[in-house]
Amino acid sequence: MRQEACAAMSGFICRKDIFKSARTKRRLQAVSLLLMAWIMPAHGYDFDLLSNTALISVKERQTLSTYAQQLGAGGYELSGGSPVTLTKWYQRRNPDVHFDFMTQVLPGVGILWGVSTGEYAAKYMIEPALKAGVILQHAFSPTADISFSFTQLFRGRLKEKPCVADYGDIGGVQSVNCRLAASTLEPSATLQYLANVRPPDHSWVGVRFNLRY
């Protein structure tokens, strides 16, 4: 997860992956469960799921998709001289689109959640994903507020698929990494280089300060 430092009057003040620590991750998950228990309607807040839920963004998730297209760059020649182009195998069939929602459960407290469609091609897939998190907001005045939020993404990995190649009398038919089928590696040894990449925003925390004028 990349780290960002923002020094603007409005926007993220900080954003970094604090979930590298398993202990920190477990603590934040525990806090989420406690918040969800505390904000149940039993506290007298007039809660209606539909009217309190808003679609906050619809966006195409491009980072892993771009990486997948880079995997498909180039090609090689078979022993008989026939060219093999990887591009067609990594041509996506659909974009990975993510829908973000927020459900307000108390004044200043909301649940962040979302879903993504996933992305598919002949030799890779980006798994569909679910997102869950919490946002807390405090208003200093009618024109200024600060919010703290964190989310966790479940699934959503980029997973590359192998090819089946015929190595003739020497090797027979074997599974092999498509990109390394013509390399000097043993076919079975190339499988460890199949892409299995976690999305860069699998977990994040942010603080946002808003000033309206």
Give residue 1's pLDDT band: very low, low, confident or very high (50, 70, 90).
very low
Domain segments of the chain as ranges: 4-211
- pLDDT for the residue 174: 93
The residue type of 33 is L
- Region 189-201 average pLDDT: 95
β-partners of residue 155 are: 129
Residue with structure tokens 């990449």? 197
Quick one: DSSP state of residue 58? E
Q: For position 32, what pLDDT does the model report?
A: 56
Residue 99 CA to residue 117 CA, distance in Å, equals 9
Q: Token pair for residue 114?
A: 């979302």
- What's the rounded mean pLDDT across residues 194-207? 92
pLDDT digits 0-9 by tens, 65-121: 999 999 998 887 776 777 888 999 999 999 999 999 999 988 889 999 999 999 999
3-state helix, strand, coil in the chain (%, to 5): 25, 45, 35
* Top-confidence residue, 37 or 199: 199
> pLDDT higher for 41 or 207?
207
Dist. CA 116–CA 213, nearest whole Å: 35
- Dihedral in degrees, nearest 10, Cα atoms 171, 174, 180, 182: 40
Q: What is the mean pLDDT of the chain?
A: 81
Residue 165 pLDDT level (bands cut at 50, 70, 90): confident
Indicate whether 179 pLDDT > 60: yes
Whether 164 and 175 have beta carbons less than 8 Å apart is answered as yes
Separation between Cα atoms, residue 130 and residue 116, nearest integer Å = 7
Position 28 scores a pLDDT of: 56
By C-alpha distance, which of 144, 149, 146 is closest to 132?
149
Residue 42: other Cβ atoms inside 10 A: 9
Q: How far apart are CA 76 and CA 84, in angstroms?
A: 5
| Contacts within 8 Å (CB) and 24+ apart, 5-12 | 9/209, 9/211, 10/208, 10/209, 10/210, 10/211, 11/208, 11/209, 12/206, 12/207, 12/208
pLDDT digits (tens, 9 = 90+) for 20-75: 455 555 555 555 555 555 555 445 556 677 888 999 999 999 999 999 999 998 88
